[in-house]
């Protein structure tokens, strides 16, 4: 990781940490700040994979970079053992699973239309005992929330805190795990 990328990430991590109360606006701002950081990190993961001799297609998709390639770089067992190493993180993942199961939120949308079968497949991955499947599913969840927030027609409703609270805590850990691995 270059010094400029290191400083960029530190600045955005500090910005995210400043949103420290439970208001809906802060949940949105925290997610945005953390995802900007994660985006920069997963692009650096791509650079590191190429440096390790891994083949990355020049026409790769952003989702693949944010999910599959991050898991390839971090290794799924390392990722899951560091992400779900405390009760809060396990509770957050379970809360998200319940939200999807109970259809409180639609995670995967196609032009604003819910894709229930894809949400159920995502849920299956989040509950998987395979660290590879679970890791990719968690990162896919984060990616789809990002797509919904950045590209979707999201309302600004208090109930969104139910999803963004646990998502932000998991995203913060994902950023930390990726940042630390890139700085080894």
Average pLDDT across each block of 10 residues of the chain; the chain has 184 residues. List them in order: 96 96 93 97 94 84 92 97 98 98 92 92 98 98 92 73 96 98 94
Q: What is the rounded CA–CA span in Å between residue 57 and residue 152?
A: 28
Q: Are 45 and 66 in contact (CB under 8 A)?
A: no
Range of the domain at 103: 3-182
pTM: 0.94
Q: What is the rounded CA–CA span in Å between residue 25 and residue 104?
A: 20
What pLDDT score does 154 carry?
Answer: 62
Which residues make beta-bridge pairs with 111? Answer: none
Run of H or E including 109 = strand 109-110
What pLDDT score does 117 carry?
Answer: 97
Q: Are 168 and 96 in contact (CB under 8 A)?
A: no
What pLDDT score does 62 carry?
Answer: 85
The token pair at 37 is 């950081």
Task: Produce one character per residue of 68-85: b if its CB has 16 or more CB atoms within 10 Å, e if not.
Answer: bbbbbbbebeebbebbbe
What pLDDT score does 55 carry?
Answer: 86
Q: What is the rounded CA–CA span in Å between residue 137 and residue 149?
A: 18
What pLDDT score does 88 carry?
Answer: 98
What pLDDT score does 2 carry?
Answer: 93
Domain count, the chain: 1
What pLDDT score does 153 carry?
Answer: 58
């Amino acid at each position: 990781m270059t010094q400029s990328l290191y400083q960029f990430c530190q600045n955005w991590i500090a910005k995210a940490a400043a949103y420290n109360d439970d208001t809906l606006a802060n949940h949105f701002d925290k997610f945005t700040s953390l995802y900007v950081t994660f985006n920069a990190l997963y692009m650096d993961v791509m650079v590191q994979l190429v440096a390790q001799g891994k083949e990355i297609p020049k026409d790769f998709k952003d989702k693949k970079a944010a999910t599959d390639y991050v898991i390839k770089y971090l290794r799924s067992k390392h990722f899951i053992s560091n992400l779900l190493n405390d009760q809060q993180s396990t509770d957050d993942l379970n809360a998200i699973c319940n939200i999807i199961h109970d259809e409180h939120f639609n995670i995967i949308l196609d032009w604003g239309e819910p894709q229930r079968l894809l949400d159920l497949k995502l849920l299956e991955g989040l509950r998987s005992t395979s660290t590879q499947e679970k890791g990719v599913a968690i990162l896919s969840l984060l990616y789809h929330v990002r797509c919904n927030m950045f590209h979707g027609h999201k309302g600004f409703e208090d109930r969104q805190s139910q999803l963004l609270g646990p998502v932000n805590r998991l995203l913060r850990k994902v950023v930390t795990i990726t940042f630390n691995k890139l700085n080894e």
